[in-house]
Structures are given as structure tokens and as C-alpha cells.
Amino acid sequence: MGKGWKCLCLRYGREREVVRMNERRLPAEWEKQDGVLLAWPHEGTDWRPDLDRVEPVFAEIVRQISLYERVIVAAPDIGRVGRKLNEAGVARDRVALFSVETNDTWTRDFGPITVMHGRDPILLDFAFNGWGLKFPACLDNRVTRRLHCEGAFGCAALETVGLVLEGGSIESDGRGTILTTAECLLGPNRNPHLTRRDLEAALGGIFGADRFHWLENGLLAGDDTDGHIDTLARFGPDDTIVHVSCDDRADEHYDSIGAMVEELGRLRSRRGEPYRLIPLPWPGPRFDGDGNRLPATYANFLVINGAVLVPTYRDEKDAAALQAVGRVFPDRRIVGVDCLPLILQHGSLHCVTMQLPKGTLP
């Protein structure tokens, strides 16, 4: 093996790959992590009328993650957060609280996206504009930099990126392939000056990616993100894609989700073979008090070191969803977390979390 190369053994089932150590790589979510970042709901957010319902959900997410790795929580009132975590029986030595002002709680989209440069992490701080200027985001857009200044990420390098991008809009297989949706990334309210080819060139360099799978179909009613991929389809180990599926012909999603599944069937892995596709069940429709449909999706799960946290919705399909995710991650504990309160603000479990790969935390 020539100079400048080093064998980096990554576990993808039976696969082992050699990665050039001076290049960037966007890890897959199932790789080793140091921790997970969350932002706590508070009265200055849209959660104000539902705090009593949603804070226990956040506490349970923190509790489950802390069983396997560390948790960082950003909040303007860390005293309140500490009391809520104590009430939930969370091991406080596994949780670090940082006093940071926030607009909202969706750290998947304003938290750092971490790439590896060899064994060194680089925290990428993209611009966050409230999903295309839909919602206030000035405080959320500063969270990553504030946490970095407070030492939350130790000596990890921080890089500001002059592009608008949310973490929920991309999926990485850890080997240079990005899965995304055209509806979101090519929308006029994020980077209107860039074409598809421009974005592939820019993001390819930033993430060390050389393959992009663009989905043209699939969008959940009530979704404010313009079709984030983490609500629709997710990469798994061994060239697997787990995806939502709609078997109800009377449902408004039936045609678009069906077209998306056909697209997924046409995709090919780096080896030139079809991906192993694992369908997720379709939960029954959920609505807010005004009759607007809420984006309940089982694809919004979070992979952590020894487990996968899967959102549930008090639905008859919950058990089948847990079983489907278990097929993708047979070596991890599959944990259902009641996220019905989360979808009141049009997001779910993956949306409120951001994993921090191994080497990121001090």
C-alpha cells in the first residue's frame, strides 16, 4: 500500500473499505458516535401551548440515548431542563447542558454536520434559514457556533459553509453516496443560484461524495421542509434503503409515494446492484386541532451506538414498524418512543436530534 494510504476498516456487514486518509468522508449514522445533540423546547418556541406534552418526550429521548452515549442539550433555561431530566430519572453524568438561546428544537437541521478528515472531525456549520424563510431562525443559525465557543465539541474544528442546507435533507452511506430529494435541495428558497450540477460539485467536495441519488417524488402532507429525505427513505448497512410505503389507495400520498418507491427500485449501489429495499408501514392519518394533516412517518428514526430509537404514534402499525427497522439493524436494540406530541409541530424523533461521530466530543 503506497505512501499516504492507510486502511480504515469500517463495518458494513462483511464489507471492508480502504479510505484515503487525507480526504473527507461523511460518516453513515450507524457508525460509532460520541453523543447526540438536542435543543430543549421552551416558552419562546412554538411549543409553548404544548410544553406539558412534549417535554416528557424530550426527556425520554435523552434518557434512552444516555444509556448508550453522551447527550448535549442546548437551552436558554438549563435549570428547568435539569429538573425535568432529574424527574425522568436521567443519569446526569451522561448529559451536558449549555445555556444557548434558540428559536426552536430541530437540531437535525441547524446543528453541525460532521465530516471526518482522516480520523479528525470537522464540524460543518451550514446556513439555516428556517426551511426556506418559512420561520424565524436567527438564533438557531448561531447554535453550532455558540456551542463550539462554549467548548461543547472540545478541539474539533469548525468550518462555516456558505450554503443553505439542513441535515435532514441528506442521507449518507458513509462511502461517498448521498441520497436526497430534488424538491428540497433544488427549491428556489435555499440556494437559487445553484443548479443540480453546481450542488453536486459543491457538496461533493464538502462531504467527500462522488455519487448522488436524487428522488423526484415523495412529499408528506404537513411537512414544512419541502421533502426532507429523513421523512421518506434512509440508508442502512449492506446497501439497504428503508423507506415509507403507502398501501392505502384512498390516501392522498398513494401515487407520490408509489412513484418514489419505483425510483428507489431503479437506483443502483456502488457495486452496480439494486439496493435491498425494506418498506415501512403507513400509519393512520393524524390531524391537528384545525384539521390539518400531520407528517407522521416511521422513517424518522435515530441510530445510536447500541440501539435504534423509532418514533411511534399510538397506531396499530407501530409494532410492524419496529419489526421492519429491526430487519435493517438486527444487532441493535429497537426502542419505540411515543412521538405523537412531536408531530404537532410537524417533525419527529430524527428531526430533534443530531448525532456526533466518534472523536467529536472531548
Q: Model confidence over 159-215: pLDDT tens digits?
A: 999 999 999 999 999 999 999 999 999 999 999 999 999 999 999 999 999 999 999
How far apart CA 1 and CA 7 sit, in angstroms, is 9
Pairing of strands 276-280, 286-287: unpaired
Q: Give yes or no for a contact between 342 and 349, defined as CB atoms under 8 angstroms apart.
A: yes
234 touches 169 (CB < 8 A): no
Burial class (CB in 10 A: 0-12, 13-18, 19+), 234: buried
pLDDT in tens, 273-310: 999 999 999 999 999 999 999 999 999 999 999 999 99
Residues 143 and 76 sit within 8 Å (Cβ to Cβ): no
CA distance 15 to 321: 27
Q: How many angstroms separate the CA atoms of 356 and 221, rounded? A: 30
Domains delineated in the chain: 5-357 (3.75.10.10)
This prediction's pTM: 0.93
Residue 153 has pLDDT above 90, yes or no: yes
Cross-strand pairs, 303? 308
CA dihedral 250, 262, 214, 113 (to 10 degrees): 70
Write out pLDDT tens, residues 34-76: 999 999 999 999 999 999 999 999 999 999 999 999 999 999 9
Give the torsion sign (CA, 283, 58, 221, 111).
negative
Among 52, 30, 45, 42, which Cα is nearest to 73's?
42
Spatial separation of the C-alpha atoms in residues 246 and 348, rounded to whole Å: 19
Using CB atoms within 10 Å of the CB of residue 161, give its burial: 0 to 12 exposed, 13 to 18 middle, 19+ buried. middle
Q: Which residues have C-beta within 8 Å of that of residue 247, sequence separation ≥ 6?
A: 282
